[in-house]
Amino acid sequence: MGSSGPTPSNAQAAEAFREIADFLDVLGEKFKPEAYRRASRSIESLAEGLAAVAARDELRSIPGVGEAIEEKIREFLRSGRIDYLERLRREVPAGLVDLMRRPGLGPKTARRFWVELGIEGPAELRAAIEAGRLSGIKGFGERKIEQIRLALGGGEPVAGGTRLPIETVLPLARRIAGALRSGSPAKDVAIAGSFRRGRETVGDLDLLVTSEDPTRVFDVFSALPEVGEVRMRGGTKETVVLKNGLQVDLRVVEPSEFGAALLYFTGSKDHNVRLRSLARERGLKVNEYGIFRGEERVAGATEEEVYGALGLAWIPPELREDRGEIDRAAAGTLPTLVEPADLVGDLHAHLPDGATPKDLERLRAVAKARGARYVGLVVGGVRDDGTPWSLSKELGRAVAGARTTEPRIVAVAEVGPGPLPEPIRALDTEYLVLRPVGTANPGAGLPSGGLPTRVVAHRGGSPEAVRPWLDLARAASAALEVGPGPARADSSLARAAREGGVSLALPLGLDDAEENTTRDVAVGFARRAGARREDVANATGAADPTSGSKRSRR
DNA sequence: GCCGTTTTCGGCCCGACTGTTTTCAGTCG
């Protein structure tokens, strides 16, 4: 908390506002906490540093940032602290926020403990329970006290907010949905929630089905090998926790309500709130059962129907974040987003260490099965320790022999910024993939050596750290690689790229198992960034790297 | 605290579930 030092990151600012919201919750504020949380979420998903936005004087254009929060952001950027937060920290015991986050407890209960019993944290609450101080207090029966005792359990707040990467969840989610489709009386089966919106991380899974026989569906669901324990089962809803800790909610709804329920449980929260106020303006009401004028249901079976009743075009789930998509849906100007089937090649593929020509053929077979006409295969490059490497002579010949028949293999070198090492120059390659390898940093500039750089692959964490790589991509007219994993860009960086006129490269995930995990996650990120087919360098319509002009160079 | 074909005030999504209730408050998603 120094008063000077490096400019605080977006993540730190987002955390500060989340902390303010928590304290205000305990203080019993009604709407301010949500206001601070909204601003916090917006800041977190920003594709550039707050300092840059502040320098352009555009902080107020961030959704949820108004006069008061703008001033606090400026204070935070200036001094690394927010006086208002410091005051709250002095005024409200941090232990109350801990209490509030435990399951079954909320701000109201935490506040009552504080005001009525002088309790300031989990340890004191535990002692109060043991001493019987809660018995007889209004609203705390035996069961409630037992529930609280359980929630106090370990000492640390339970699992709160641990989210899994979507690439981890995707195969699991598809297996579960498939098992319900084929092994239970569930008819429509859909996965809603942030999973459907293609978010980078998933906190829990929301499954939605229609069925005449919910009990059978629940029985099949509970017995799946992935399921650890059943948390609760009601008439229309069951909650389980998977063996890996992921919570999964399964809901059975009427076919006439399926679209409304899918819309509702897909979110995002901000998107739903916006739809509801739009509905209210038009004398309509939206809930998870449908859209109503008075008692009469106007729509509900499909999402198209529900959006239609509000005068909106259907909005792709990846865009449902209240970033202006509702206005665009009203105006009919939503983009047609890129789809997996649009991808016609892979610009950046690897063979495993010690690969043989057989592995190359296997790679081509997979590529062909996934609709690829070409594969940019890395045949050499620079290791992390700075030394050059290349494929074996035998494999090199096999690659050369695969240049003309589809899927065509394009030889690629993977290098860091700066001058190209001589052994890499000597390789017979068509283009370069730029990555942070060796000791080179983005300040060293584009690789020099006469070959075009077509792909830039680096995420590097914070939006601030990644900017230079994006600038290199722009300077080289290269595509930014988008997708899961530390060496690819997430959706907010992809949006920054797209808005800055940099195209995207989407991996086909040729070394994935059968589920197409990498490809589908990458396409999801690109869609979240609003990318159309023409924004993607390896989609149909883009220049084919095998028909470029470099062949004449030799 | 934010926001506006309800714009400078007065709203701010809404229903299920739980436990504790003689009619509801709090939590959750």
Q: What is the mean pLDDT of residues A284-297?
A: 84
Which residues touch A483 (CB under 8 Å, ≥6 apart)?
A489, A506, A507, A509, A518, A521, A522, A525
A203 Cβ within 7 A of any nucleic strand B atom: no
* Superfamily name with CATH number, domain A340-535: Metal-dependent hydrolases (3.20.20.140)
How far is it, in rounded angstroms, from Cα A238 to Cα A240?
A: 7
Q: How far is the CA of A141 from the C1' of B19 (A)?
A: 8
Q: Which of A311-325, A337-351, A410-424, A428-442 has the largest mean confidence?
A: A337-351
* More confidently predicted of A17 and A458: A17
d(CA A333, CA A327): 9
Looking at the DSSP bridge assignments, the partners of residue A291 are A286, A299
Residue A36 contacts strand B, CB under 7 A: yes
pLDDT of residue A168: 92
Q: How far is the CA of A83 from the C1' of B27 (A)?
A: 31
Rounded to an integer, what distance in angstroms lies between the CA atom of residue A264 and that of residue A287?
A: 7
Q: Tell whether the model's pLDDT for residue A440 goes beyond 80.
A: no
| Angle in degrees, CA A340, A346, A351, rounded to 5 | 125
Q: Taking the CB of residue A335, how many other CB atoms lie within 10 A of it? A: 16
Determine the angle formed by the axes of helices A166-183 and A517-528, rounding to 10 degrees: 110
- The whole-number pLDDT of residue A160 equals 47
pLDDT at A156 over 70: no
Domain(s) of CATH 1.10.150.110: residues in chain A: 10-91
Nearest to A432 by CA among A535, A343, A550, A539: A550
pLDDT, residue A546, reads: 65
A283 touches strand B (CB under 7 A): no
Q: Which residue has the tokens 């000791």?
A: A439
Instruction: Give me the pLDDT at residue A246, please.
Output: 87
Peptide bond into A407 cis (omega under 30): yes
**Which residue, among A414, A464, A472, A485, has the nearest Cα to A441 in the 3D structure?**
A472
- Rounded to an integer, the average pLDDT of A63-67 is 92
- The nt closest to A109 (CA vs C1′) is B26
% helix / strand / coil in chain A, to the nearest 5?
45, 15, 35
Confidence of residue A101 (pLDDT cuts 50, 70, 90): confident
Is the pLDDT confidence value at A132 over 90? Answer: no
Tell me how far the alpha carbon of residue A498 is from its chain's centroid.
17
Q: Is the pLDDT of residue A411 over 50?
A: yes
Q: Give the residue nearest to nucleotide B14 (CA to C1').
A: A287
Residue A529 confidence (pLDDT): 93
**Which of chain A's residues 518-547 bind strand B, using a 7 Å CB cutoff?**
none
What is the rounded distance in angstroms from the CA atom of residue A519 to the CA atom of residue A512? 9
**CA–centroid distance for A236 within its chain:** 29
pLDDT tens, position by position, A386-408: 899 999 999 999 999 999 999 99
Q: Report pLDDT for A459.
A: 61
Shortest CA to C1' contact from A143: nucleotide: B19
Which nucleotide does the CA of A146 lie closest to, via C1'?
B19
Is nucleic acid strand B under 7 Å from A511's C-beta?
A: no
A82 sits within 7 Å of strand B by its CB: no
**pLDDT (mean) for A86-112:** 91
Higher pLDDT, A351 or A283: A351
Interval A3-14 mean pLDDT: 79
- Closest nucleotide to residue A281 (Cα to C1')? B6
Higher pLDDT, A28 or A460: A28
Q: What is the mean pLDDT of residues A425-447?
A: 84
Q: Is the pLDDT at A377 greater than 60, yes or no?
A: yes
Structure tokens at A16: 């500060």
Task: Verify if strand B has an atom below 7 Å from the CB of A104.
Answer: yes
Q: How far apart are CA A233 and CA A229, in angstroms?
A: 11
What phi and psi, each to the nearest 5 degrees, are found at residue A467? -45, -50
Asked whether strand B has any atom less than 7 Å from the CB of A27, the reply is: no
> Which of A114-123, A149-158, A348-357, A437-446 comes out lowest in average pLDDT?
A149-158
Chain centre to alpha carbon of residue A58: 25
Model confidence at A181: pLDDT above 90: yes
Token pair 């004398």 is at which residue?
Answer: A283
Share of chain A above pLDDT 70, in %: 95
User: Measured in angstroms, what separates residue A487's CA from nucleotide B28's C1'?
Assistant: 36
Query: 3-class SS at A306?
Result: helix
Structure letter (DSSP) for residue A205: E
Reported as a pLDDT band with limits 50, 70 and 90, residue A59 is very high
CA of A31 to C1' of B10 (A): 13
> What's the topology of domain A10-91?
DNA polymerase; domain 1 (1.10.150)
pLDDT of residue A71: 96
Specify whether the CB–CB gap between A216 and A222 falls below 8 A: no
**pLDDT computed for residue A102 by the predictor:** 86
Q: Is the CB of A160 under 7 A from strand B?
A: no
Residue in A335, A339, A337, A272 with CA at minimum distance from that of residue A306: A272
Out of A37-51, A375-389, A440-454, A512-526, least confident range: A440-454
Q: How far is the CA of A2 from the C1' of B6 (A)?
A: 46
Amino acid at A274: R
Positions 228-257 in A, CB within 7 angstroms of strand B: 232, 234-237, 247, 249
- Provide the mean pLDDT of chain A: 88
Sheet holding A296-299, edge to edge: A285-287, A290-293, A296-299
Interval A142-147 mean pLDDT: 86
Which residues are registered as beta bridge partners of A120? none
Which residues are registered as beta bridge partners of A209? A189, A252
Alpha-helical regions (H) of A357-462: 357-369, 393-401, 422-426
CATH entry 1.10.150.120 includes domain A94-152: no
Residue A3 has what pLDDT?
45
What is the reported pLDDT for A137? 83
Number of residues that make up chain A: 554
Rounded, the Å distance between the CA of A254 and C1' of B20 is: 31
Query: Where are the CATH 1.10.150.20 domain residues in chain A?
Result: 94-152
Reported pTM? 0.86
- With H, G, I as helix, E, B as strand and everything else as coil, classify residue A274: helix
Distance of alpha carbon A406 from alpha carbon A175, whole angstroms: 32
Q: What string of DSSP letters covers A25-47?
A: HHTT-SSHHHHHHHHHHHHHT-S
Amino acid A237: pLDDT: 85
Nucleotides of B under 7 A from a protein CB: 1-3, 5-6, 11-21, 25-29
* Rounded Cα distance, A331 and A49, in Å: 31
Distance from C-alpha of A340 to C-alpha of A525, rounded to nearest angstrom = 12
Give the pLDDT band of residue A158 (cuts 50, 70, 90): very low
**Amino acid A72 CA to nucleotide B11 C1' distance, rounded Å:** 25
What is the distance in angstroms measured between the alpha-carbon CA of A320 and the sugar C1' of B23?
Answer: 39
pLDDT over threshold 70, residue A161: no
Task: Provide the pLDDT confidence category of residue A446 given band limits of 50, 70 and 90.
Answer: confident
Domain spanning A256-331: CATH 3.30.210.10 = yes
Tell me the two tokens of residue A279.
């509905």
C-alpha–C-alpha distance, residues A154 and A210, integer Å: 39
User: Does A199 have pLDDT greater than 60?
Assistant: yes
Fold of A164-252: Beta Polymerase; domain 2 (3.30.460)
Domain with CATH 3.20.20.140 in chain A: 340-535
CA–CA dist A56, A54 (Å, integer):
5
DSSP state of A467: H
Assess whether pLDDT exceeds 70 at residue A553: no
Q: CATH 3.30.210.10 occupies which residues in chain A?
A: 256-331
Alpha-carbon gap, residue A421 to A442, rounded angstroms: 16
Measured distance CA(A118)–CA(A328) in Å, rounded: 51
Question: Quick one: which residue's CA is nearest to B6's C1'?
Answer: A281
- Residue A109 (CA) to nucleotide B18 (C1'), in angstroms, measures 14
Q: HSE (CB half, 13 Å, CA atoms) of A16?
A: 23
